[in-house]
């Protein structure tokens, strides 16, 4: 295969891949999180709480999503206990969700945000952005039904 043919083939493959992605459009919050690969624990917890269908719904939702590393910071046995206590797990997971699509440019203008759980999370922008003390490490991951902001800790409502 000569160089011109190789370049043409690569260009065609790239265009086909881009077209396929464009046709599929953005994924919902759950599918986006699963595809990222760093939210396996969150996906397991959402499944255990029965919240998968909710976060696949129309929304829009803003999710402050803790990574697998964030869940690993919980004291030993905490996650296992939560996975067995659906009510408590649901309260914690819905505390990570705000109704509406709140992009990073809007988050930094807020001092608090009301969660789906019913309580407010505090937002501190003095040194980076923190939500209830958890650092926001990645922002504005667009989804078909909202947005994900990645945080480095699991945040817990007052219970």
Residue 88 CA to residue 27 CA, distance in Å, equals: 28
Fold entry, domain 26-151: FAS1 domain (2.30.180)
pLDDT tens-digit readout, 92-102: 999 999 999 99
* pTM for the model: 0.82
Nearest to 102 by CA among 59, 62, 55, 65: 62
Question: What does pLDDT average to over the chain?
Answer: 84
Nearest to 64 by CA among 104, 16, 24, 10: 104
**Is the pLDDT assigned to residue 49 strictly greater than 60?**
yes
Could you tell me the residue ranges of all domains in the chain? 26-151
- In this prediction, what percent of the chain has a pLDDT beyond 90? 75
């Amino acid at each position: 295969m000569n160089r011109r043919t190789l370049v043409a083939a690569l260009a065609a493959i790239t265009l086909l891949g881009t077209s396929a992605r464009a046709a599929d459009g953005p994924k919902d919050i759950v599918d986006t999180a699963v595809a990222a690969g760093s939210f396996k624990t969150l996906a397991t917890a959402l499944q255990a709480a029965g919240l998968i269908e909710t976060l696949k719904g129309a929304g829009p939702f803003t999710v402050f999503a803790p990574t697998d590393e964030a869940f690993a910071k919980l004291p030993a046995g905490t996650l296992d206990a939560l996975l067995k206590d659906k009510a408590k797990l649901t309260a914690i997971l819905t505390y990570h969700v705000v109704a509406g699509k709140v992009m990073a440019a809007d988050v930094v203008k807020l001092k608090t945000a009301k969660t789906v759980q019913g309580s407010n999370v505090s937002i501190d922008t003095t040194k980076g952005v923190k939500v209830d003390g958890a650092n926001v490490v990645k922002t504005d991951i667009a989804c078909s039904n909202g947005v994900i902001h990645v945080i480095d800790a699991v945040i817990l409502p007052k219970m």
